[in-house]
Amino acid sequence: MPFLIAVSSTVKRVLPLIRMMHPVAYTLIEWYHSNKRDLPWRNTRDPYLIWLSEIILQQTRVEQGRPYYERFKEAFPSVASLAKAKEEKVLKLWQGLGYYSRARNLHKAARMVLEKHQGIFPTDHAAIRELPGIGDYTAAAIASFAYDLRYPVVDGNVYRFLSRLFGIDTPIDSTAGKKEFLQVATELIQHAPPHEFNQAIMEFGALTCVPSNPNCDSCVFRSSCIARKKNTIQELPVKAKKQTSRNRYFHYIVLHDGKDVYLKQRTEKDIWMNLWEFPMLEEKKALGPEGMLRKTSLLFKNHSTTMHDKPSKARHLLSHQTLHAVFYEFTLQKKIKLPATWKKVNRKNLQKFPVPKLIEKYLRQLLVGD
Ligand code: SF4
């Protein structure tokens, strides 16, 4: 892979070190063979299954992702079967994992493989990278794990380990940082089988060089690690931008009509697009019961509903947002004209709809005792 980029003085210092010093790649692979976890997606070279596992594992812990991987593999054993499935079925199976754009892109990419590549998963890096939802990291993972192509993976685990081992303090979320870390990883992978090297470096970051309290005392790099020598472990890797989180206030209307309640499909182009939820009012701040009655009075005119006491509250954290949700229950007393987008659903059938995690948790509570 050619690199015609300007590099910082840190990396100029580090590159000769990589070539001369400790045989990092081999030490990693040796460590990997004695310490790796037995994970189902590691026992296959099938690019479809590797892709599936990589998408599921983005922003998801291994233990949480494992049952989803098994379920997807069983429901859609081939890329063609995934491509032919209805989006609603894919979203339902994904429910609970969050970041639904991953599921939508998975489905879109499967269709692309079927239409553009005759159902055969592409074998070259550029064609893999073109598929929806596949970025540099995922393309490198599929290319190396399935076909042993020499593309280094650079994920959060790799940034952390390399920044500490070589004492690199270029921010990992800057363009310069991304290029530098990619260059370092590319140097290292030259000396090793790509598939094993990539698995090993990620596993090392996940198990040993962990974010807080890394296992330095038993680390195979403890004598060469620059961050350990300089006592900068907790400062690395460096991030330039502080992540800010915004508060959002969701007020759900859980409208009971006998054994039925009303749902609405989310059409906004956001992470919950096409999922189902209760009709909802989003406000700049929390309304409180009186505010909610005022807001819904136009909709439920002529006292056609009664509002229950004690609304249920929930808080849900996303990477850049904190959702403050309140579920207000109402009972419909008289027939009224409701918005056409509201769908009347028997409570028994609520579980069949793909819903965001916040709604899933509330439904569990609502359906207890039904
Ligand atoms: S010595 Fe500690 S900080 Fe350095 S590579 Fe090993 S685990 Fe990471």
How many A from CA of 237 to the centre of ligand 1?
12
pLDDT of residue 303: 72
Gap from CA of 104 to ligand 1 centroid (Å): 38
Q: How sure is the predictor about 5, in pLDDT bands with cuts at 50, 70 and 90?
A: very low
Residue 354 CB neighbours (<10 A): 22
- Beta bridge partner(s), residue 252: 280, 327
Beta strand ranges found along the chain (DSSP E): 246-257, 260-265, 276-277, 280-283, 305-307, 312-317, 321-332, 342-346
pLDDT of residue 299: 85
**Span 85-105, average pLDDT:** 93
Is there an atom of ligand 1 within 6 Å of 228 CB? yes
pLDDT of 286 above 90: yes
Three-state SS sequence of 235-252 = HCCCCCCCCCCEEEEEEE
pLDDT at 6: 46
Q: Residue 3: pLDDT above 70?
A: no
Tell me which of 47-51, 145-149, 227-231, 336-340 is least confident.
Answer: 336-340
Does 203 participate in catalysis according to the annotation?
A: no
Which pLDDT does position 21 carry in this prediction? 37
Identify which of 201, 224, 228, 234 to mutate to test ligand 1's pocket (most ligand atoms within 8 A of the CB). Answer: 228
Return the residue whose CA atom lies nearest to atom 4 of ligand 1: 225
The answer to whether the CB of 142 falls within 8 A of the CB of 47 is yes
Kindly report the pTM of this predicted structure: 0.78
Helix (H, G, I), strand (E, B) or coil at 290: helix
Identify the band that residue 8 occupies on the pLDDT scale cut at 50, 70 and 90.
Answer: low
CATH topology of domain 246-366: Nucleoside Triphosphate Pyrophosphohydrolase (3.90.79)
Q: Cis peptide before 2, with omega less than 30 degrees from 0?
A: no
Task: Please tell me the predicted confidence (pLDDT) of residue 312.
Answer: 94
Q: Which of 30, 54, 88, 180 does the annotation list as catalytic?
A: 54
Structure letter (DSSP) for residue 152? -
Segment 64-74 mean pLDDT: 97
User: What pLDDT is attached to residue 102?
Assistant: 94
**pLDDT grade for 335, boundaries at 50, 70 and 90:** confident
Residue 237 preceded by cis peptide, ω within 30: yes
For the cut 80, the answer to whether the pLDDT of residue 278 exceeds it is: yes
Any atom of ligand 1 within 6 Å of the Cβ of 215: yes
Mean pLDDT of 272-294: 93
- The encoded tokens of residue 249 equal 């206030």
**For position 181, what pLDDT does the model report?**
97
Q: What is the mean pLDDT of residues 261-286?
A: 92
Work out the average pLDDT over 283-295: 92
Q: Tell me which of 219, 230, 231 to substitute to probe ligand 1's pocket, judged by most ligand atoms within 8 Å of the beta carbon.
A: 219
- Residue 9: the pLDDT is 64
Percent of the chain scoring above 90 in pLDDT: 77
Per-residue pLDDT, 20: 44
Tell me the CA–centroid distance for residue 179 and ligand 1, in Å: 22
- Tell me how far apart the alpha carbons of residues 358 and 362 are, in angstroms, rounded to a whole number: 7
**Run of H or E residues at 54:** helix 47-57
Q: Atom of ligand 1 at shortest distance to CA of 214?
A: 7
Q: Is 216 in the pocket of ligand 1 (CB under 6 A)?
A: yes
Domain with CATH 3.90.79.10 in the chain: 246-366
For the chain, the average pLDDT equals 91
| Averaged pLDDT, 101-110 | 96
| pLDDT for residue 17 is more than 70 | no
Q: Does domain 9-235 have CATH number 3.80.30.20?
A: no
> Ligand 1 in contact with 164 (CB < 6 A)?
yes
Residue 250, pLDDT > 50, answer yes
Give the distance (Å) from ligand 1 centre to CA of residue 28: 12
pLDDT at 40 over 60: yes
CA distance 288 to 161: 47
At residue 298 the predicted structure's pLDDT band, cuts being 50, 70 and 90, is confident
Instruction: Tell whether ligand 1 has an atom less than 6 A from the beta carbon of residue 219.
Output: yes
134 lines ligand 1 (CB under 6 A): no
Percentage of the chain exceeding pLDDT 70? 94
Q: Which of 41-45, 70-74, 361-365 comes out lowest in average pLDDT?
A: 361-365
The answer to whether residue 369 scores a pLDDT higher than 70 is: no
Alpha carbons 308 and 316: distance in angstroms, whole number: 23
Look up residue 99 and give its two tokens: 């970041």
Distance of CA 65 to the CA centre of its chain: 10
Q: What is the largest CA-CA distance in the chain?
A: 82
Q: Which residues belong to CATH 1.10.340.30 in the chain?
A: 9-235
Confidence of residue 14 (pLDDT cuts 50, 70, 90): low
